[in-house]
Structure 1
Amino acid sequence: MKALKVLHSESSRGWGGQEVRTLKEMLALRERGHIVELVCPRDAGIGVRSAELGFNVHHARMRGVGDVRSMMSVQALLRGRAFDVLNTHSGHDSLVAGTAARLVGTPLVVRTRHLALPISSLATYNWIPHRVIAVSQYVRRYLISAGVSADRVETIYDGIVKPEYIAQSTLRAELGLGPDAVICCMVAIMRDKKGHEDLIAAAQPLLAGRPNLHIVMAGNGERFDTIKNVVDGLGLGRRIHLLGFRADIPNVLRGCDLFVLPTHQEALGQAYIEAMAAGLPVIGTDVDGVPELIKHNLNGLLVPPKSPDELRAALVQLIDNPEQRTRLGEAGRRITEGRFSIDDMADETIDFYRRSLCRREYHA
Structure 2
Amino acid sequence: MRILHLLNHRRRLNGHVHAAVDLACAQVKLGHTVAMASQGGDFDELLRTNGIETFVVDHERRPGPVLKSVVGLTGLLRRWRPDVVHAHMMTSAVLAWPACKLTRVALVTTVHNEFEKGAILMGLGDRVIAVSAAVAKSMQKRGISASRIDVVLNGTIGSARMTGRSEVPKSLDHPAIVFVGGLHPRKGLPDLLQAFDAVHAQHPAARLYVVGGGPTQDSYTAMARAMASADAIAFAGPQDDPYPWMLGADIFVLPSHADPAPLVLSEAREAGCAVIATQVDGIPELLGQGESGILVPPKSPDRIADALRMLVTDPDQLKAWRAKSQIGIENLRIDRVARAALEVYGRAIGPRAKPSAS
| Mapping for residues 258-273 of structure 1, pairs under 5 Å | 258-273=251-266
Task: Classify the secondary structure of the residue corresponding to 2:328.
Answer: helix
- 2:44 is equivalent to residue 50 of structure 1: yes
- Find the counterpart in structure 2 of residue 76 from structure 1: 75
CA distance in 1, matches of 2:290, 2:72: 52
Contact 1:299–1:332 (8 Å) recurs in 2 = yes
1:35 is matched with which residue: 21, 33, 36?
33
Question: Structure 1 unaligned runs (5+)?
Answer: none
Establish whether residue 286 from structure 1 lines up as the match of residue 285 from structure 2.
no
8 A contact 1:12–1:90 mirrored in 2: no
How far did residue 192 of structure 1 move?
Answer: 2.3
CA shift for structure 1 position 214:
0.4
Q: Paired residues, what number?
A: 347
Residue 352 of structure 1 corresponds to 344
Are 1:59 and 2:56 an aligned pair? yes
Per the alignment, do residues 223 and 30 of structure 1 end up closer, same or farther by CA in structure 2, a change over 3 Å counting?
A: farther
Counterpart CA distance in 2 for 1:40 and 1:183 is: 39
Normalising by the residue count of structure 2, what TM-score does the alignment of the two structures yield? 0.88
Q: Which residue of 2 aligns with 1:95?
A: 94
1:348 deviates by 1.3
Distance 1:356 1:167, change over 3 A: closer
Task: Tell me if structure 2 keeps the 8 A contact 1:62–1:71.
Answer: no
Do the aligned partners of residues 295 and 112 (structure 1) sit closer, same or farther apart at CA in structure 2, a change above 3 Å counting?
A: closer
Query: What is aligned with 1:148?
Result: 144
The corresponding residue for 2:111 is 113
Distance 2:71 2:256 in 1: 39
Give the corresponding residue for 2:211: 218
The SS at the match of 1:282 is: strand
How many Å separate the matches in 2 of 1:5 and 1:333?
35
Contact 2:10/2:42 (CA < 8 Å) preserved in 1? no
* 1:277 matches 2:277: no
Query: What's the counterpart of residue 232 of structure 2?
Result: 239
Q: Give the conservation status (yes or no) of the 8 Å contact 1:194–1:262.
A: yes
- Runs (5+) with no aligned partner, structure 2: none
**277-286 or 202-211, which deviates more:** 202-211
CA RMSD of aligned residues (A): 2.7
Identity of aligned residues (%): 26
Partners of 1:284 and 1:293 lie apart in 2 by: 10
TM superposition shift of 1:191: 2.0
Could you tell me whether the CA contact under 8 Å between 1:303 and 1:310 is conserved in 2? yes
SS in 1 for 2:42: helix
Q: Which runs of 4+ in 1 moved over 6 A?
A: 163-168
Residue 284 of structure 2 contacts residue 290 of structure 2 at CA under 8 Å; is this kept in 1?
Answer: no
- Which secondary structure does the structure 1 equivalent of 2:176 belong to? strand
- Answer 1 or 2: higher relative contact order, Cα 8 Å, separation at least 6: 2
Aligned to 1:136: 132
Whether the 8 Å contact between 1:62 and 1:97 is mirrored in structure 2 is: no
Question: Match for residue 11 of structure 1?
Answer: 8
User: 1:60/1:362 Cα in 2 relative to 1: closer, same or farther (>3 Å)?
Assistant: closer
